[in-house]
Structure formats: C-alpha cells, structure tokens
Amino acid sequence: MSIQRVAIVGGTHGNEWTGIYLVKKFQNNPQSIQRSTVETTTLLANPKAIALNQRYVDRDLNRCFGQDDLNDTTLTGYENTQARTIATALGQTHTSKVDFIIDLHSSTANMGLTLLPASYHPFNLQLMAHLSEQNPDVRVCCGVQCNQDSPMLRSIVPLGCTIEVGAIAQGVLDAQRFQQTETLIHSILDYLDATNQQKIASTTHSSLMIYQSIESIDYPRNSMGELEAMIHPQLQGKDYEPLKAGDPMFLTFAGETIVYEERSIVFPVFINEAAYYEKGIAMTLTEKQHIKLSQTA
Amino acid sequence: MSIQRVAIVGGTHGNEWTGIYLVKKFQNNPQSIQRSTVETTTLLANPKAIALNQRYVDRDLNRCFGQDDLNDTTLTGYENTQARTIATALGQTHTSKVDFIIDLHSSTANMGLTLLPASYHPFNLQLMAHLSEQNPDVRVCCGVQCNQDSPMLRSIVPLGCTIEVGAIAQGVLDAQRFQQTETLIHSILDYLDATNQQKIASTTHSSLMIYQSIESIDYPRNSMGELEAMIHPQLQGKDYEPLKAGDPMFLTFAGETIVYEERSIVFPVFINEAAYYEKGIAMTLTEKQHIKLSQTA
C-alpha cells in the first residue's frame, strides 16, 4: 500500500482552534509537512464558521458526509454545499484525490490525545497501533459508525483518522495540546513515508487495544427536554476510566445522585462535550477491546 | 445599612451556563433564596443570547452599563436596549429598586471562586472579607473600573459583586462549580440577613486581601492582528500565582518562549479567557494588596 497524498484538515468545526491554528501554521511553512514520498495539502473546512467562531453556520459540517446527503442537491445549506465541495476536492469518488485524511478536532471533554480511525482497514489499524506504541498517551476510539457510510469528513476516503484532543474550551488555544497534536501529525506523516519506502512493514503489530463505542447516553431531562442534571463531579473529566455498577453518573439540580446501573464495565468518553448537549449526548460509553490485526499486507 | 432587595442575575453572557441554570433553579424554588429580612429577585439578563448559546447578540451586554451608553438612545442594538431595560428595572436612578446585585459569570480561565466587587464601598468590602474568611478558596479581584462608572451590569447599584467561576468551558455545566457558586450565593444572602438583623456587625474585619487589576496584556500579534503566540504551557491555568521576571508568558507558534520582563511580581488572572481574544486580552495582571477596612459603619 502506498500513500502518496495526505490532506490535513482543520476548522471542520469553526470554534475548535487547535486544528485551525495548526493548519495556518502548516500553510505558513508547507515544507514542514512534506515527506519524500508524501505530498501533503491542507484545508480549512468551514471558513464561515471559523470567521464566526462557531461550530457551524447552518448544520454540523461533520455530519454532512453521508452518501445520501452528498447526493441530495436539494440540501442547499452552507455546510451541505461545503461538504459536496470538499468531497469532490478530496474524495475518491472521481479521480483519486487524496489517499489519507487527518481531521483535527478538539473537545471540552477530557479526551487527551484520541485517534478516531476512519475505518477498520488493516493499514489504518496498523498505523493506530504504531502511534499508540510510540506514545502511550494516545488512545484509539472507534465510533459506532467507523466506516465509509459515516457522515464524518474523515470517512470520505477509507484511510485516515480524526485527532480529538482535550479538554480544551471552544475558542481557545492550549499550547500543550497544540504541540502534542503537531507531534502526532508528524508521527503519522513519518510513518506513511516509512511504509511507502518499506522502512517499516505495515504488518508489524499483531494486536491493538481500542475503545469501541457502544451507545450514547443523554442527560436526564424533563418532559420539555430541559436538563434536570449535570455530569456528576466524580465522573467529570474521567474519560476512559472504568464505570461500573453503582458509580455516580449524574447529579440532579436538586442534589440527587444518579448512578450507573448496568452490570458491564464501560469506559465513558466525550463526557460533558459542549457541542453534544444539543445532540442529546452526555457521554458515549465504550468497551475496551483487543483486536487482532491482520499481518498480511 | 440595611439591604432589603437583592437581585441574582444569570445569563448576562448567554453561553455561561452556571449562572443561567442557577437562576432557573432559584426560579423553580424561589423560597430558597428568600431570607426573613431580604427579598430576592432573579433575572436572566440576555434571553436572546441564552437561546443562541452565545455570549451576546450585537454587543457584550456586560459592557453596556456605562452612564453615557445608558443615556444614548441612538444605541439601538439588542444589548443596549436590554441594558436600559435592566438598569431601569434594577437600578437606583429612579425609585430605589434593588440594593444589591449578584451577577453570575463563568470563565474558561482558572478563576476558581472569584468575587469582583461592584465598588470599594466599606459594606461591600466587609462582605468580601467575611466570604474570604468563611471559604479560603474565595478570592477577591478588583477591576481597573471598580466603581459606578464601569460598564458592567454589577455597577448599576453600589453594592454587590460578580461571581466569576472557572475554569469552565462555554456552554457546559460543571457540577462542582455549580454547587460551590450556589453555596456562595447562600452565604451572601445569609450575611445580608444577619447584618440587617445586627447579628453580624458589618465592621468586623479590619483588613482584606485583594488582587487589584493593573493592566491587561494582549497576545503577540502580527501586523494583521493575527495571533502569533499562545499562553505558555507553564502559565496556563496558573491564575493568581506569582509571575516574576524571566517566567514564561507566551509560546509562539514557531516554538519560541516569550518571558515576563518587568521587575515587579504580578498575579495574572483571566489567563486564556475565550471571550477576551476579541477584546485583545490574553490575561490581566493584578497586584496583591492588603487594604485596611473602615471599622466605622
């Protein structure tokens, strides 16, 4: 497998500054993201939202890349139009454009350095295993939709990932996370270049630990849909830590604790993500899975 | 001095949820904020911004309360209109409306539990001293404009304060800070009630430690006004900690450290507040001051 063209995308959400300012930095110094066998382009995906310092203008751009939506020309909102433009520019539906997409995001949840692969493609998973081994702080989280039918920007080509860093408030820069994300991007480019040159076999790793999303949990709400509780202080910031029966999940405004009641131990992520209140997501529960990797290229 | 009417205000900034949801909680249970000698009202100050989950619609409401702006009827933006309505409803310019305002805010900076008094009025400072003594986590920070000519909502009556809690991202609830803010509000109401009933003398404290704002510092920017640096990782989250000559302040995107160069030791606050990027404020430098309190009522 040869990866010749990479796109680094920032500002898919206009108020997630880590990716926006990294892309601006790369645009000011394009040489830094080239490798001998890899040509890298950059893109600020949602310029109007970036200018407004908002997640989106009409609709979440990172939910506009499902094939049905891309094909539906009656959807004329800013983000739907922008998604079609981006899919045409980067996607592989026409002549091959890019082979690999890195989409840069940040979260108000304590996501640390999370990689969300675009697919379970063996090459992708080998890369994730390589990055996890190189930096033990890196975690791999697979969405419920981890394939090319997902509505995410990263899914327009089979190879690539979202980098989700946090906790970072919207509309700010966090220098430490900025530098860690930059390092991770360079590690990806180095790996792609090394595998292209067969300096690293893309079959090195035999297994990978992932956090597999199972379901999302909403906040307790009243019949009007209004919040009745907050993330419990004992769960706040505890992304990727085990949650077991009896552990506090929510604290109602009246001061009552709501506990987790299932038997299975889960690992919540995206706990208290600001952008997910409107999506009805207080957290996403994941399971830890060790997956066996194909060692035939 | 007798404080009979108190207003608790939330949502002056529409994306600062701590105050918004505390006010909603109080509105659902108005009895909880009444005291035998104190009548408490609540207000959501910027309903349109709250509905949009934005700081403001046209202009920062908490900069619209200067007398000149309140008198200038040619200012017809949403927040200017709203400010005049609120000043008329709560302010003392006409018949006395409320005696004391508590304005609830949150910050993406690590402000902990900060009180920003509306004025240096002896009664106000005695209250601040009482609250600091009761809870050592409470800090008192005086703005450059700590008087009735300030453009802040809290300044429309001489007594009262802003409660500024953080670090909290915009558009989220943090249960721990929510509860701490609620406790602080009840402590204020209890104090006002106790002094009304002369159970506490409002001349108890002889001194108060405050953080007095001296000046605000902008981020390094290029000639286009674009950011060239971030808060240095060693300064991030270090609000209220001493900053001395040679200490890192900023990290440029190119990776260079910019240090603090003045001789005087200062205590930065509002470090990396999201809403202050557009105001050209990376942090506000304060001096620690022990002020002597009048012990004659």
- The pLDDT tens digits along chain B (297 residues) read 789 999 999 999 999 999 999 999 999 999 999 999 999 999 999 999 999 999 999 999 999 999 999 999 999 999 999 999 999 988 765 555 899 999 999 999 999 999 999 999 999 999 999 999 999 999 999 987 777 678 999 888 889 999 999 999 999 999 999 999 999 999 999 999 999 999 988 788 999 999 999 999 999 999 999 999 999 999 999 999 999 999 999 999 999 999 999 999 999 999 999 999 999 999 999 999 999 997 655
Chain A residue numbers with beta carbons less than 8 Å from the beta carbon of B233 are 175-176, 179
Tell me the ipTM for this assembly.
Answer: 0.94
Is A176 strand, coil or helix? helix
Q: How far apart are CA A23 and CA A173, in angstroms?
A: 13
Of A193, A215, A198, nearest to A100 by C-alpha is: A193
Q: What is the pLDDT of residue A1?
A: 78
pLDDT band at residue A93 under the 50/70/90 scheme: low
The residues facing B256 across adjacent strands are none
Is A169 strand, coil or helix? coil
pLDDT tens, residue by residue, B274-290:
999 999 999 999 999 99
A interface residues, B as partner, C-beta within 8 Å: 21, 24-25, 54, 108, 167-176, 178-179, 227, 230-233, 236, 251, 253, 255, 272-275, 277
8 Å CB contact of B175 and A274: no
Measured in angstroms, the CA of B283 and the nearest CA of chain A are apart by 13
Q: Which among A169, A227, A253 has CB closest to B169?
A: A169
Task: Please indicate, yes or no, if residue B244 is contained in any of the structural domains.
Answer: no
Q: Report whether pLDDT(A57) > 90.
A: yes
Q: What is the pLDDT of residue A96?
A: 57
Structure tokens at B117: 């008094």
Domain that holds residue A93: 5-209
Q: What is the mean pLDDT of chain A?
A: 94
Most B CBs within 10 A among A230, A232, A278, hence the mutation to make, goes to: A230
The larger pLDDT score, comparing residue A200 to residue B270, is at: B270
Cβ-Cβ contacts under 8 Å for A249 (sequence gap 6 or more): A217, A231, A232, A235, A243, A258, A259, A260, A283
Q: What is the pLDDT of residue A158?
A: 86
Q: What is the pLDDT of residue B94?
A: 53
Chain A residue numbers with beta carbons less than 8 Å from the beta carbon of B172 are 108, 272-274, 277
The larger pLDDT score, comparing residue A95 to residue A191, is at: A191
The mean pLDDT value for A245-271 works out to: 97
Q: What is the pLDDT of residue B97?
A: 84
Cβ-Cβ contacts under 8 Å for A268 (sequence gap 6 or more): A217, A235, A238, A239, A240, A241, A243, A283, A284, A285, A286
Q: What is the pLDDT of residue B207?
A: 94
Q: Report whether pLDDT(A46) > 70.
A: yes
Q: How far apart are CA A30 and CA A33, in angstroms?
A: 6
Task: Please indicate, yes or no, if residue B261 is contained in any of the structural domains.
Answer: no
Task: Please indicate, yes or no, if residue A269 is contained in any of the structural domains.
Answer: no
Q: What CATH number does residue B192 fall under?
A: 3.40.630.10
Task: Please indicate, yes or no, if residue A73 is contained in any of the structural domains.
Answer: yes
Q: Which among B25, B227, B236 has CB closest to A176?
A: B236
8 Å CB contact of B274 and A170: yes
**Residue A118 is which amino acid?**
A
8 Å CB contact of A277 and B251: no
Task: Please indicate, yes or no, if residue A266 is contained in any of the structural domains.
Answer: no
What is the side-by-side order of every strand in the sheet holding B160-166?
B39-44, B5-10, B100-106, B160-166, B112-117, B138-142, B207-217, B283-292, B267-269
**Residue A8 is which amino acid?**
I
Q: What is the pLDDT of residue A294?
A: 76
pLDDT band at residue A155 under the 50/70/90 scheme: confident
The larger pLDDT score, comparing residue A1 to residue B53, is at: B53
Q: What is the pLDDT of residue A80?
A: 97
pLDDT band at residue A19 under the 50/70/90 scheme: very high
Chain A residue numbers with beta carbons less than 8 Å from the beta carbon of B174 are 230, 236, 272
Q: What is the pLDDT of residue B202?
A: 78
Task: Please indicate, yes or no, if residue A163 is contained in any of the structural domains.
Answer: yes
pLDDT tens, residue by residue, B90-107:
876 555 589 999 999 999
Chain A residue numbers with beta carbons less than 8 Å from the beta carbon of B273 are 172
Task: Please indicate, yes or no, if residue A43 is contained in any of the structural domains.
Answer: yes
B166, closest residue in chain A (CA to CA): A169
Task: Please indicate, yes or no, if residue A134 is contained in any of the structural domains.
Answer: yes
Name the one residue in this structure whose structure tokens are 């066996």. Answer: A292
8 Å CB contact of B175 and A21: no
Number of structural domains found in chain B: 1
B interface residues, A as partner, C-beta within 8 Å: 21, 24-25, 54, 108, 167-176, 178-179, 227, 230-233, 236, 251, 253, 255, 272-275, 277
The mean pLDDT value for A96-101 works out to: 87
